[in-house]
Structures are given as C-alpha cells and as structure tokens.
Chains A and B, each alone.
Chain A
C-alpha cells in the first residue's frame, strides 16, 4: 500500500498522549506526526483510535524502538507483520527504527544499545535492513544512536559504519542531529565531520530533541528538555549541507504543553532560514 506524501520542508512532532486533546481540538499547523510504532500495534486500543482520527488529517510516519536489528536472535517476524499492518493503517510514507540492538536472549531491554563498528557487522546490518525494507514494502530508514561508550573492536568511525550500512542496504538515513551532537561530546569528534559524510538524498528525516548533562561531563539523550543552541547550530549546518529534509521535534519525558513544542517547530523553520 502506498503512503501519503510528505513535503521535504515539513516540520513535525513526535505524537505523545498528552498532545491528543490539543491536536483533536485545535488541529495545529504541523506538517506530520511521528509515532512510536510499538504504542499502536493493537488496532483496537484507545491509542490507535486517537491515531486513526489524527491520521485522517495529518501524514503519519512510524518510528520503532524494538526492531532489534542487530540482536542475537533472528528478526521477529510477527512484529514485522504488526508494523506492516500499522503502516498500512496510517498510510505511512516510510518506517524507521535504529541501527542497534535492543534485546538479547529473549529479553527486551527497551534501550538502544551499541555494537562494534566493523565491516562484518555493517554487512549483517545492511542485509537485515534490506530484508526489513522489502518485508514492509515501503522505504525504511535507520537512525544513528546516542552512545556513551566506544567499543575496542571497532575498525571504523560511527559515520563510516552508518553510511556503509545505509548505502549497502539501499535504505534511508533517519538522521538524529541531537544524537550526532551527544555522541560528538561523549567521544570527542567534530559533529560537522559526521554530517559531511551523510548523503543528503538518502536522508528520510531529521530528529531534534533535548538532552541532559551528567556530573561526569557525559551527555545523555533524555528527550526531556528543549533543543539546545549547539544542536540548533548543527541543525542549521545540516540543512545547509544536505538541503530540505522533513524535520521532527521529539519529547519523551517532562513533556511540555503542545504550544511550547509548536514554538520549537517555529524555531526550526527560523533557524534554517
């Protein structure tokens, strides 16, 4: 089933339950909504009823958090069926998830976890991502992680690994600019070098979010604060470097009222000029 189209200049919001009422009542000027796929797998749930109403008025894109692309077990076929049906229900133009593992040996960790950046693992990730895209029958994108460790077995940089996977799989980048910034601080690289290596035509969407700083100096991707100035600067650079890309602001904790999030969308439009 074909999805609805999305403008390359669209700005969107991560749809969270506190926003349902505002969206139903005020129909705010939002280019699209992104939903956490796992929260809408049951089509009979109240959340799915809200989503159905919103999908009648806005483009919806799906963003998963438990695909477990690089988990030790084979991909969960029943889960892929559910995602595929959900994508059909909301006519999603594309589906995204993360370049990581999220569980192992039957246990779901509900976190986005790192792997060593090697050619062997990149090739495996590409093979699985190709499979997922074919299985879902629509464009599939992979998001870069925020990370707090670098693994000794890595033989390439994160951006080399990410680019290799996306290109080999012929899928899209779900480029999280905040995550690039977070990892650049945590691991001491220039985030613009990372952005420079991303192939603009393959970027399906950009994520912007807030983060928090630990006493150790590490930055943690908490999605509980406004987008900071450094990330807005990197977003401006990304936009200039890659061209128009649908952009999303996401909150997952200490979620503010919808008008405050809408003000961040205005800031996104303003920053990119």
Chain B
C-alpha cells in the first residue's frame, strides 16, 4: 500500500476532472468546448504560452468526449446509423454524465447504455420500439464478438434423464433477437466508416422475425429462426424440456413443431448452451 497524493495534487485533480467532464456545447450545431464553464481555479494552475490556456484545456476536454463517442459508435453502429451520429453522441453524453466510467476496460464503457435509454427514452423521431430493437441488436452483436468463451454443452448419457427437471443455460455469446424492421440486413449494409448521416428507417416487416446470434469458436452465427424455434430457445432457459415441448404444441400446433427435436440437436451442435442446471 502506498501513501496518498499530496492534498494540493488531489485538489488539482478534482478541478481537472471537472474540466474534462464539462459537456461539449451543442447549440451551434457543432460540438464545441466551452472554457467559460471550466473551474476558474484551474486557469491559475496552467502556465500561459503561445497558445491560450483555454485552448490547451479544451484539447483535453474534446479528447475526453470524442474518445467515448468513437468507442460507443463502434459498439452501437446500428443505433448510431438510425438516429444519426449527432443525436447518438448526445445520448452518449447524457448517459456518461449520469454514469461516468469507473472500470479499466474501455470496451465496457457502453455497458448499461441500452438500459439507460430504455429507462429514460430520448426525444427522437425514431419509434420507441425501433430504438429498443436496434439497441438490443447492437448489444447482442457486441456480446457475440466479446463474450467470454464457454465450453458448449454436449448431450451425454447422464444428461438425458435430467432433461425433465432442469433448464438449459445459454452460452454468454448467444442472444435471441426479435426484429420488426430488417435490422440484420441493415447491419450488413452499413457503410464503413459509418459517417455522420442517418440511414433512413427501413420498411417494417409484415410480422416480426426472430434471430439467433452468437459465436462458436471464432465464427459469428446469425441464424433466422422459425417461430417455434424462437419460443423453444427462449423457454428452455426457464423450464424443463418436456414442459416446453408440450406448451409449444399447445401454442403453435403439432405441424409447426415438427422438426423441433432436430433443431434442438442443431442448437446444441452450435454451442448455444453451456450448461444444464437441475431445478429443485
């Protein structure tokens, strides 16, 4: 354990931190630093030179925010494209003002952004359902790329008898997604680099579609699901297999459930599940 920093340094760091986190002004249509809002005491800590103190501090202030905007645009490309980079940066700023970063990993900066936006919906012309769906898609794809590797569950002799009284645990990289608009297609067609401009809202599907997204080895799988498959995958995380199959037949009819057992085996081969938990 080492001794603390001198009081004067801690006080300087508090003021410098306040300067860094001063929001950028959006009123002129560009993101501008506003040195008038920096702590006044900080000005006296800086030696003036050929470049004014305000401009020197503004470099740190702009770097602070733009680093985060860039990182989060990378994590939420679909959301950025749909609301536009300008609006997205505004949402990020609002999120980070309320939830300043505390961890070591920059890639985890956006954890909680989707929940934050669901809890406090932004003012935007994008329908709330669409915004919620693209946030979920971005989170799922980010998770597919970054979630920890997990050993896939395999069907073994001792697992079969336990299926009646337990539930499947999904591997952390796998997510189920529902889309009312063609987000998966839109993601594939996003320009690189993303650019500042909004992508127009696509045409809504006549009926929602379901997808399975996840990683097996180093391969990302994006699999379209039939309604029965989506229900199966969702409910197996909560209930035993026989109960889920019975409910599925009740809900969708026998015809729609044909091939479900084969699909179950396919999902296991993909590595959708990582464990099986017995329930009391």
Which residues in A have some Cβ–Cβ distance to B below 8 Å? Answer: 38-39, 41-42, 44-47, 49, 66, 70-76, 79, 101, 104-111, 113, 115-116, 120-121, 124, 127-128, 131, 148-154, 186-188, 214, 216-218, 220, 253
Are B13 and A72 in contact, CB atoms less than 8 angstroms apart?
Answer: yes
When chains A and B are docked, how far (Å) is the Cα of A71 from the Cα of B3?
11
Are A115 and B51 in contact, CB atoms less than 8 angstroms apart?
Answer: no
- With A46-B146, A116-B12, A149-B57 as known contacts, state yes or no: A124 contacts B6, CB within 8 Å: yes
B155 within 8 A of A: no
Are A104 and B17 in contact, CB atoms less than 8 angstroms apart?
Answer: yes
- Partner-contacting stretch, out of B98-106, B176-184, B239-247: B98-106
Name B9-66 residues within 8 Å CB distance of A.
Answer: 9-10, 12-14, 16-17, 20-21, 44-47, 49-53, 55-57, 59-60, 63-64
When chains A and B are docked, how far (Å) is the Cα of A151 from the Cα of B43?
10
Which among B20, B57, B104 has the greatest number of chain A C-beta atoms within 10 A?
A: B104
Are A148 and B44 in contact, CB atoms less than 8 angstroms apart?
Answer: no
Chain B: CB-nearest residue to A130:
B2
| B contact residues, range | 35 or more
- Selected contact of A45 from candidates B1, B46, B146, CB within 8 Å: B146
B137 within 8 A of A: no
Complex contacts, A120 vs chain B, CB 8 Å: 6
B191 within 8 A of A: no
Are B46 and A150 in contact, CB atoms less than 8 angstroms apart?
Answer: yes
Are B14 and A104 in contact, CB atoms less than 8 angstroms apart?
Answer: yes
- Selected contact of B13 from candidates A71, A79, A111, CB within 8 Å: A71
Interchain nearest-CB distance for B168 vs A (Å): 20
- With A116-B9, A188-B50 as known contacts, state yes or no: A128 contacts B70, CB within 8 Å: no
B145-160 vs A, Cβ < 8 Å mask (1 yes, 0 no) = 1111110000000000
Complex contacts, B59 vs chain A, CB 8 Å: 148, 214, 218, 220
When chains A and B are docked, how far (Å) is the Cα of A22 from the Cα of B264?
36
Complex contacts, B56 vs chain A, CB 8 Å: 148-149, 186, 218
B170 within 8 A of A: no
Name 9 A/B residue pairs within 8 A (Cβ), A-sorted. A39-B106, A104-B13, A105-B17, A108-B101, A110-B64, A148-B57, A152-B47, A216-B52, A217-B50
- Selected contact of B64 from candidates A109, A124, A149, CB within 8 Å: A109
Chain B: CB-nearest residue to A132:
B2
B5 within 8 A of A: yes
- With A44-B149, A218-B56 as known contacts, state yes or no: A128 contacts B2, CB within 8 Å: yes
When chains A and B are docked, how far (Å) is the Cα of A106 from the Cα of B268?
42
Complex contacts, A131 vs chain B, CB 8 Å: 2
Interchain nearest-CB distance for B144 vs A (Å): 10
When chains A and B are docked, how far (Å) is the Cα of A22 from the Cα of B49?
45
- With A104-B14, A152-B45 as known contacts, state yes or no: A45 contacts B149, CB within 8 Å: yes
Are A74 and B67 in contact, CB atoms less than 8 angstroms apart?
Answer: no
